[in-house]
Structure formats: C-alpha cells, structure tokens
C-alpha cells in the first residue's frame, strides 16, 4: 500500500507510475485519496482541539470547586458535556474518513520502478537474458501429459475423479521426482543462506491483506467461510506475515527465508492446449524465497535472487529466458518483477516457472514492518520474494526436454535425490 504522505508529496510521480500500468481513473482515485486525507487531517485537528479545550475546562472546574465557586463550576460542566458530545461525533467522523481513505488506498497498485517500461500486456515484456540449449527432439516428441500417461507417472483423470480438473495425482517415479525437486530446491536455497521454515497453509484475512492478496484477488483464493481462512496461493503470504507488526533492528538485515508449500489457486484459466496437463493447476507445489531488506540494499538483493535462480536452472540444464515485466503485466504489489520462462520443446512454447519481485515498502506498509535506522528513527523495510522454483512446469520441462527413445533421462543433479537416472 502506498503511503498517503508519499502520494500527497509526489502526486505527479504517482500518476506517471499508474499510467505505466494503464490504471484506469488514476486521477480520479488520487483526488479522492487526497480529499479523504484532507478531511481526515482536518477532523483530527478539530478533535484534538476539542479534547484539549475539554481538558482545560475540567481543570478549571476542579479549581473552582476547591475555591468554593460551585455555581461557576456547574456552568462550565454544562460546556464540558457539550464538548464531550462534540468529541464523540468528531471521533465517529474521523473513523469514517480513515476507513474511506484505507479503502481507497487498497485499490491503488504499487508504483513501478523507473526501469519498468509502459505496456499493456505480456506482449510488451522485455526479454533481457536467455541461456541454455534447446534440444532437437525430432518430430516424434510428446508433450508432458502424453509422457505422463505413457510412463504412468502422473494421472490427470484420477485427480479429476477425486477433486476435479487441475488436481493431478503423482504416482511412482513421478511422485519421487516431484519430491526430489522439492528437496533439491530447498537444499540449494539453504546452502545460499536462506533459513528453511514450515508455515501454515491457511491464513487469516489480516495476513492475506498484509501481503496484498486482499482485496485485489478476492474471489481468486479458496476461502473457508466458516473459519474465515484462506488457502494460500503462495508461501510468500505466510512467510512474509511472520514479520507483520514487527520492529526489526538494522543489524538483522538481510532476513532470508525459504519454505516449501502446496499452493492453491481458483483461477485455473481457459480451456485449450496452453492449459493442459501441468501448464496450469488449482493445486501445485512451490518452493519460495523471501527477503526482508534495508531499502538501500533491496535492488542488489533482487539481482542476487535472479542469479540464484539462474544457477538452479543451469544445474538442471534447462533452456530458459528472463523477462522484465512491463507496467501492464507487473503484479499489483510489485515495483519490479523478473519472470523466468522455460522452453517447452514438445509444446514449442515458453512456460513461466518463476518470478522474482521487489515490493519496496508496499507490503511493509500494510504489514507495519519497520526497522530502526542509524538515527534511531523507525522506517519501513523492503520486502522481496521469488519462486525457487514452482514445480509443475519445471517437471513438465524435464519430462519434455529430457525425453529419449529409451525413456526420460533424469538431470544429473537430481539423480542422488531420485535414486534413479531414467524413467522407463
């Protein structure tokens, strides 16, 4: 959430950033924010003055009673009664203005970083890096959903029977490969200095709001209405909320965490080949990395996250590219996002497998996550997160790019985790 004083002092910059995102009615909502803030501040001043006057008169009443001037004291008591009623009305009015301002601020996305270009959709994203060799599989290459059926390692029909479309069942070596990837990702992350945590898979409304899923993605998450809990769309939500309401020390930076969780998303998308198999699911596994950083170091930390993910993909020997997302494709809470895409040779298309984002103070403002700076003053920290990695499309890429006439070869780095080197 943007800070209202930042909007007030940098109106032109905010409008320019929102224009990059093609944010509709930006000028209207910014004016509404400024009006609501002006009303809130004016009401706060009026309330403070009323309370101060009431306190002053109360002291006068006490002195009058002490000196035997009861009649004068009773006259002033009537006035304090009026002031108390005014204070109550002003307090209620202040609450209305504060709630109105909060609701408006929740509608405004983060301001993109200066390096982010304007754009309407993924078609306008910038390809900034690519690496790896795309294998020549010939004309007989199979997409991963056919390979999964051929080798009996993932059963999509059984998942549909149990739960519905978008809930695959991993079997035999497919399940072991899935588990191997999880352990490999976690080992890579912990070796890089991230502390592993196991977190709840359901969160409350406060947690979903703090990281920006609510109200922006209301309706896209699975919601247990009886308990008012949400199934997490990513481990970013519970891991980042570990620090909700905290005041950390400058010496604590960097704070680096990693965790594996299943992820749940209601928006499985449209029909067609581009969402077949593992391409888009309602439930999938993901290993996440989260960083809490000093504002002066957050973009250096983001570059480090990108290099870390690169190293994993190099070890897996998978062809990939990195995109810097344009304003129109950048997520609601992010200031800058790099997407990693894996080339699916059998499908002849790029599949998103990871993103690394810097949210700057946007999440921290909602989280009330602050630190004490060198001057002893508290300021908002920066939060970052990245997928390291999302499993379904990595698994799809391995199945498709490593298929041979003899079966599916397991990447060398995963063999110690799997205990086998081929799926035959």
Q: Which residues are annotated as a binding site for ATP?
A: 265-267, 352-355
E strand or H helix at 49:
helix 26-66
- Strands, E assignment, 302-348: 320-324, 336-344
Instruction: Report the C-alpha gap between 88 and 42 in whole angstroms.
Output: 16
- In sequence order, the 6+-apart residues with CB closer than 8 A to the CB of 276 are 143, 145
Annotated binding residues, written as ranges, equal: 234, 265-267, 288, 352-355, 385
Q: Are strands 370-372 and 247-249 parallel, antiparallel or unpaired?
A: parallel
Q: What SS3 state is found at 340? A: strand
Using CA atoms, how far residue 379 sits from 41, 44, 294, in Å, is: 21, 23, 10
Measured CA to CA, the distance from residue 35 to residue 38 in angstroms comes to 5
DSSP secondary structure letters along 252-317: GPPEEEEEEEEEE-S----SSGGGSTTSS-SEEEEEEEEEEE-TTTHHHHHHHHHHHHHHHHHHHT
d(CA 141, CA 135): 11
| Three-state DSSP state, 167 | coil
Binding site listing for L-serine: 234, 265, 288, 385
Residue (of 394, 297, 318) closest to 351 by Cα position: 394
DSSP-derived letter for residue 3 is: -
In sequence order, which residues have a C-beta less than 8 Å from that of residue 155 and are 6 or more positions away?
148, 168, 169, 171
Place of tokens 């067609």: 272
What lies within 8 Å, CB to CB, of 189 at 6+ separation is 196, 258, 287, 289, 308, 388
């Amino acid at each position: 959430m943007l800070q209202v004083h930042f909007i007030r002092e940098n109106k032109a910059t905010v409008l320019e950033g929102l224009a990059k995102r093609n944010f509709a009615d930006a000028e209207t909502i910014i004016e509404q924010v400024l009006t609501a803030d002006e009303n809130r501040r004016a009401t706060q001043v009026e309330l403070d003055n009323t309370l101060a006057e009431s306190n002053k008169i109360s002291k006068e009443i006490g002195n009058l009673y002490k000196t035997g001037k009861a009649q004068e004291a009773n006259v002033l008591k009537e006035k304090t009664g009026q002031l108390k009623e005014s204070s109550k009305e002003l307090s209620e009015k202040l609450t209305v203005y504060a709630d109105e301002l909060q609701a408006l601020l929740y509608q405004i996305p983060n301001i993109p970083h200066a390096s982010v270009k304007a754009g309407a959709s993924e078609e306008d994203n910038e390809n900034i890096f690519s690496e790896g060799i795309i294998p020549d599989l010939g004309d007989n290459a199979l997409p991963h959903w056919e390979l999964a059926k051929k080798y009996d390692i993932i059963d999509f029909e059984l998942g549909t029977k149990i739960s519905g479309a978008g809930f695959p069942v991993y079997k035999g070596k497919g399940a072991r490969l899935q588990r191997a990837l999880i352990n490999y990702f976690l080992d890579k992350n912990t070796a890089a200095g991230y502390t592993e945590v196991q977190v709840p898979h359901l969160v409350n409304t406060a947690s979903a709001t703090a990281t920006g899923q609510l109200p922006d993605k209301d309706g896209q998450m699975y919601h247990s209405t009886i308990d008012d809990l949400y199934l997490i769309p990513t481990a970013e939500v519970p891991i980042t909320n570990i620090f909700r309401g905290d005041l950390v020390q400058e010496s604590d930076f960097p704070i680096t965490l990693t965790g594996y969780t299943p992820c749940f998303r209601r928006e499985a998308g449209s029909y067609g080949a581009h969402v077949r198999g593992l391409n888009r699911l309602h439930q999938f596994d993901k290993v996440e990395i989260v960083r809490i950083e000093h504002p002066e170091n957050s973009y250096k930390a983001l570059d480090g996250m990108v290099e870390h993910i690169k190293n994993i993909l190099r070890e897996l020997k998978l062809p990939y590219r990195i995109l810097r997302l344009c304003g129109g494709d950048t997520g609601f809470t992010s200031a800058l996002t790099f997407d990693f895409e894996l080339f699916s040779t059998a499908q002849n298309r790029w599949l998103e497998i990871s993103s690394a984002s810097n949210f700057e103070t946007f999440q921290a403002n909602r989280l009330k996550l602050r630190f004490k700076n060198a001057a002893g003053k508290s300021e908002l920290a920066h939060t970052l997160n990245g997928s390291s990695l999302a499993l379904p499309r990595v698994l799809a890429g391995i199945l498709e790019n490593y298929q041979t006439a003899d079966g599916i070869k397991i990447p060398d780095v995963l063999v110690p985790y799997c205990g086998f080197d081929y799926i035959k």
